[in-house]
Structure 1
Amino acid sequence: MIEASLDPLVTFDQNGIIMDVNAATVRVTGRTREELIGTPFADYFTKPEKASEGVMLVFETGEVRDYELVIKARDGSETIVAYNASVYKDETGQVVGAFAAARDITLSKRADQEIQNLQNYNRGLIEVSLDPLVTFNHEGIILDVNEATIKATGMERDELINTPFADYFTDPERAYKGAMEVFETGEVRDYELVMKAKDGTETIVSYNASVYKDQSGNVVGAFGAARDITESKRAEQEIRNLQRYNRGLIEASLDPLVTFDRNGIILDVNEAKIRITGRSREELIGTPFSDHFTDPDRAYKGAMKVFETGEVRDYELVMKAKDGAETIVSYNASVYKDQYGNVVGAFGAARDITESKRAEQEIQNLQRYNRGLIETSLDPLVTFDHEGIILDVNEATIKATGMERDELINTPFADYFTDPERAYKGAMEVFETGEVRDYELVMKSKDGTEAIVAYNASVYKDETGQVAGAFAAARDITERKNAEIALHEKKAELDLIFQIAADGMCVIDTDKNIIKVNKAFLRMVKMDEDEIIGKKCYEILGGDLCYSEECPLEKKKNGESFLECETIKKLSDGKEIPVILNAAKLEQNGKFVGIVEDFKDITERKLAEEEIQNLHRYNRGLIEVSLDPLITFDHNGIILDVNEATIQATGVSREELINTPFANYFTDPEKAHKGAMKVFELGEVRNYELVMKARDGTETIVAYNASVYRDQEENVVGAFAAARDITERKRSEHELEETIQKLEAYTNRINRLMKTTLEQITEEKSKGVILDVTGVPDDIEITQPLINIARYARQFGATCIITGIKREVEHELLELGAILAPITTERSLHDGLRYTIAIIDEN
């Protein structure tokens, strides 16, 4: 039974010293049985002190449940396990040691890690967005925000969470109405609001929001993304409905068990093997083991390897069923021997063979016990007098004691036992009562050998009827006593395994009465044993299978098979527990007497599955709510996921984008790949400009912001990238540059004109200068330099007349801030010439 378990099993004494281990313990530690036995139990864990505390706790409380430790193997590998342990006692009721079973909980830890990774992924998705993101509930109360929201409002995260969403807008009533509209319609698009910050700053934003749901499809909250539309209103995009990632979990069935001989011929199979192959027991027995796999040569090689090495572990094969169905299995196999130690065959188990191996081991032990040991020696016979002095012995006594006849006669009968006082008392009891039956003693021989014997003695009389002595016959019961002790210990061990099993188990008779349960079952139903025993099974743990044709008891009673299945069981208080149910029939003397039901509580697994699915939905909502194209890629720059904005920007579907190079969607792939790799070198990249190219040839200038995201161990597993469309901004920058160049050219022309004009006035002593601005735009930036030329000319002694300015334009220039005094203006060049000639004539 111990060796049948794939879980590491170990027994240790009250000092924590290992007394026995099974093969699973040998494998997981990488040490032989001889290396383990006699060493401290705590030495084989990463935290010996915690392991020692667990050992002491077992003896203090009687048992330990789900005690987490990390086993360390000789090669350095580590295995996370949950230990269940309880004490065991000798026939006098004294605690002599403890039995411990380690359950590998690596998978559940992986589930915890996946949840943690998804939570990290969520935070990365929130924080990578350049837009403020917020989630709120049906009352409009904020549940979560990103860093952009903190910056936009000037509030800390703790100040924002659990406050009304509407409080951070200039029109709270309209903001609240918009939040409620999300839950009424499922989404809100382009909902304009004015966000107000702590310092009074106001920002016009366009909100896009949509609801997100739990596993049951119930709306539990809403995502809201605010796009600052002061500059980027042109970049608004529609958000699609949330999509679900469906990731199912593979349900394991019962483990197939098979035994085969040295030629690979099947000797026996279990019900699981019958179910998985679709063949009856008669069809399987006597056929080659290898015939039931897609690769018979490999299967045969594995079967033969068992006999060469003694065992095979984790040997992968593909099992094929009668209907063509294929199942990948991992076989664990080992040889088994007869009572003389000769290998007679091999056991093979696919995947978890804990329960079936236990049943197999129990059957094997009972068979060996039933065969017994043949008693070959004669019983020792002795006669002794009223004082217990030996009068005569037979040859069997001589052999049993190792003493000669002359050495035995006339010596005390009691001297040849380990407890002389008890032996003498038994001898005297014969004379008091006339006989003694099955009086147990331990006989010791000359060489120190001890034998447990059962004495039967009676008096014998002389011819006068007086008791003359006693005759005693000793039956050697050493092997029987050892067998009784072994059987008692084995039954105690089997009951202990039943009691410490991680799954809830109960035994039910043919009338559906519960007759036995284990501790896991009591914990599962939260009842005491005396409240359960004798009750109907459906009264304690009901469900859809009760009263139906699928009832395990009814199916087994009718000789039908019962396939392991996932179902919901209901407690008497109405609480529902998801379980994996399995059943095995019980027989006594070939008669069906009931079943054993096994309930694996999968509540935590279901909760983990639901949480993982909710996190996946939350991820999708965070990705899709962003108006900017969002992409995640791995260390090689291969796209892992995209949002709807990326699909619209590239004109390529999600299926076509995922698993393709990120750099393929830009006009300069080399620069794009370099930027992607730079993220992993630096941890982030900001405002990295690229030109995105769409399938139809459209090009969009974007600024990429990207950062890495990590798993639970802080290892970088990928990067988020968000692209902001900066096409309009780049166009504005180009126009501004052109305007500056034009102004610079105009300024240079004005400067040259001023220099030339003033030089001519100086050289030629000019008395009058006419500046004609007919056709020049009515712009103070253009006109003011010409007016300045006129003013400087006056300082050099020349009268300057500006012509071509209309009166209404003159008034507009004055209103714009142009200083015309003391400059003379005329409407036309003709008027300006006439005025200039008149001034010259006056002088």
Structure 2
Amino acid sequence: MLEIGALNSLQTDKKSASLLQSYKVRDEVLQGETSIEPILDSIPAGIIIIDEATHEIIDLNKAALEMLGVPKKYVVGKICYNFICPSDKGKCPITDLGQEVDKSERILLKAGKEKVPILKSVKKSFWNGRRCLIESFIDISDRKKMENQLRSMVDEWQKTFDAISDFIFILDKDFRIVKVNQSLCMALGKNQEELIGKKCFEVLHGTSEAWHNCPYKKTLATGNGAVELVDDPRLGTLLVSNSPIFDENGNLLGAVHVAKNMSEIKMLEKELQQKNKILDLIAENIHAGLVIVSRDFHILWANKVQEEKKGCKLEGKLCYSIFMGRDSLCPECPVEEVFKTGKDEVRREVFVEDCGGKSEWIEIFASPIRDENGKIVAAMELVIPITARKEMELKLKQYSENLEELVKKRTEELLEAELRASILLEEASVGIAVIQHDGKIVFVNKRLLQLSGYSEDEILGHHYEEFVDKKYHDLAMNLLLKKLQGMPPLITEIELIAKNGERIPVEMSGSLIKYKGYPAIVVILRDIRERKLLQKQLLEIERLKAICDLALIVGHDLRNPLQAIANAAYIIRKEISNDKISERIMQALKVIQDSIQYSDKIARDLRDFAMTEPPKLEKLDINALVNEALAQIEVPTNIEVITKLGNVPKIYADKYMLKKIFVNLFMNGIQAMEKDGGVLSVSTRKRGGFVEITFEDTGVGIPEENLKKLFTSIFTTKAKGMGIGLLICKKF
């Protein structure tokens, strides 16, 4: 078996050449620093040059950039720890901990903090008069995956080896145990460490040398596998087989031994013999005929009862001839049906006459007899006399005919009433259940099954609290107790737990009934989800109407004083000469101007939110409108804007509304990346009969719990803003 380390060495060979080349070029770099960039980029391994004192990244080659997954301008000048290296500040393995990193397995942080395993070497040197660290590395992700796969394969092999119930062990040429499975360890009461290295005959048989009939002695002598039945005083009767192991030159190295414990098989053989004796006794003493018939309808065996009844030996005779006196198969022969259909049992009641003219009724049960492949090779007939039973059935029939007339009319009336009640219950538009005094459900109708998603078997016999939300248990219990005490009907709301976990609001009422002679409650459950949804929608409509009314008032009344403040600020700036105005006053005027602009934006947003005017459609160039919206926005320097505008047709739309949507979406993306920066992307393309505009950013994202609130009015997670931007987008 190959060891993991050996396989790792083989897997690394293909990358060793590129790593050695990187070391050679690195040494050349240390000797001369001119025209270095072409040399670095020619190296297939990653090269990064880092300032030793500040840990600032000075330069890196193309291979390193490809592994990091970011442009060079985002890397050069950055501090290496917690950027490309997972070590924290002050814990650098080379400069702080004094470690030597030479062909060591380390971790490289890619963009997005993805961790990549690498084989890394670091050497100290000088670069343009600065002490620096030159790191060279290669990606060993594939090797790591192969190592994990190999470990998994070894683990699976070991689990399989240990799971085999037979005793398995591997010996070398000196009879010493090299490998042993868990079954043998448990049988000997020892662990693997206690057995490996020991001679097999010492630990298995307690002898100083191999037994005379040892199969391994034969294998060592002949080079072939051997099998022997061995009676071991401790392990019982064993069937031992071995398979030789050879090296690549055909030299014998050892053998794999498999020892199957035959003690249990011998016990089973003994038990089988005893069971056969019991079956023979049953067959001979049963008060019924028992016959085994071949596929050509010859009798293979018959028990004593059947042979005494016919007065002769039956083996070899045709069944239809000896039993029925026929020259051909009996009509509706049960044995023939078993052969044709493969049914497990075919039953027939037959009236027969024997040779002496005596007649009787018999019942025949025919069953198939199959071989180990499931093929039917014969059939067994059990012949039971039923004449007495038939006579009794005839008498009972005569008695029952008199009773039938008496109960027929009443039965029809009861069935009709039961049918009407059943139809009413099953086809009702509400859920109906019957609950016993102990809380167990004994009846549910079709509508309740549809509502809950459960099958009838999953509900009947279960306590009703299993299907009611825990917070309503006391309420439901009080209602049922009041019903059992005969109090007037009550109606309340609870939540039903469906099979898929959904909480379904229902209106519950109930009445006291008698069920199978005992008091019970018939519970009516009405689904009120649609009513609840309509109530919620009505409240939201009323809330939005109030917000719209307020928005119109605020938007209108706010703009007049804003305009006055803006005019006053403008006059102040004109009246005060620039040489006399102080920096503090200038800042105060700027604050006033910014606040006016922000307040005006709020007023415009409120106006847009409350606006009910229909859109003014005109033919628009979407790509031009995207660029126009971008031109209105001040993009921070730490954010890169990427536009991918496809060849799309002009569309009819309201320019103001569409531009407002674009600006709001751009601003949301920028605000999500203000702190750490990122990339803002917008693309257009034709899709079917539509134009698709996609906005993307690499910001912090939206928490799961806020996704459902995106288009909720007056909802925001920002320090500034009213939370109506996306709502305006949706409204437009």
* Higher helix fraction (1 or 2): 2
Structure having the larger proportion of residues in strand: 1
Q: TM-score range by the shorter chain?
A: 0.3 to 0.5
TM-score, normalised to structure 1's length?
0.33
TM-score after normalising by structure 2: 0.37
* Structure of higher RCO (CA pairs closer than 8 Å, 6+ residues apart): 1
